[in-house]
């Protein structure tokens, strides 16, 4: 069983930066993949980025490359999402998720989810 808790979401000005954290508790395996998703009001949940616990290999949605960076600290079971050059359209609830099948861009592969953290980007 895995418990995920996101933090770091807040109000930020357009063009600014923000780092989200996802703390994982419970037993995890080297083959697990950790992902970030987001959901804006009235829109479907969208894949942002994913990372492998074991290798650190990353996978990004094309629209996120160059602005968002995912990383992990295996010692503290924490995954981060560094967001730069933020835009108002980045406003959403950001969710952390864990997949036993490794990194994936579809929410269908993720078994465990956090409750989300709100990111609001002002214009």
- 32 falls in which pLDDT band (50, 70, 90)? confident
How remote is the C-alpha of 96 from its chain's centroid?
A: 5
**How are the residues of the chain apportioned to helix, strand and coil, as percentages rounded to the nearest 5?**
5, 50, 40
- Region class of 119: left (phi > 0), else alpha (psi between -120 and 50), else beta: beta
pLDDT at 26: 84
| Segment 37-41 mean pLDDT | 96
pLDDT score of 29: 66
Q: Please say if the pLDDT value at position 17 is more than 90.
A: yes
Once rounded to an integer, what is the mean pLDDT over residues 51-59? 92
Residue 107's CB: how many other CB atoms inside 10 A?
17
Residue-level pLDDT at 2: 87
Q: Tell me: the pLDDT tens digits for 68-93?
A: 999 999 889 999 999 999 999 999 99
Are the beta carbons of 64 and 48 closer than 8 angstroms? yes
Q: pLDDT-derived band of residue 110, with 50, 70 and 90 as boundaries? A: very high
pLDDT at 42: 94
Closest to 112 measured CA to CA, from 82, 77, 67, 81: 77
Cβ atoms of 4 and 97 closer than 8 Å: yes
């Amino acid at each position: 069983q895995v418990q995920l808790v996101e933090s770091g979401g807040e109000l930020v000005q357009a063009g600014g930066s923000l780092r989200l954290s996802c703390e994982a508790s419970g037993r995890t395996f080297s083959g697990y993949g950790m992902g970030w998703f987001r959901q804006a009001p009235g829109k479907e949940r969208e894949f942002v980025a994913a990372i492998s616990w074991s290798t650190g290999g990353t996978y990004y949605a094309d629209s996120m490359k160059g602005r968002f960076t995912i990383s992990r600290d295996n010692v503290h079971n924490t995954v981060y999402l560094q967001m730069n050059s933020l835009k108002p359209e980045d406003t959403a609830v950001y969710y952390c998720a864990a997949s036993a099948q490794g990194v994936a861009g579809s929410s269908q592969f993720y078994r465990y989810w956090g409750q989300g953290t709100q990111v609001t980007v002002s214009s």
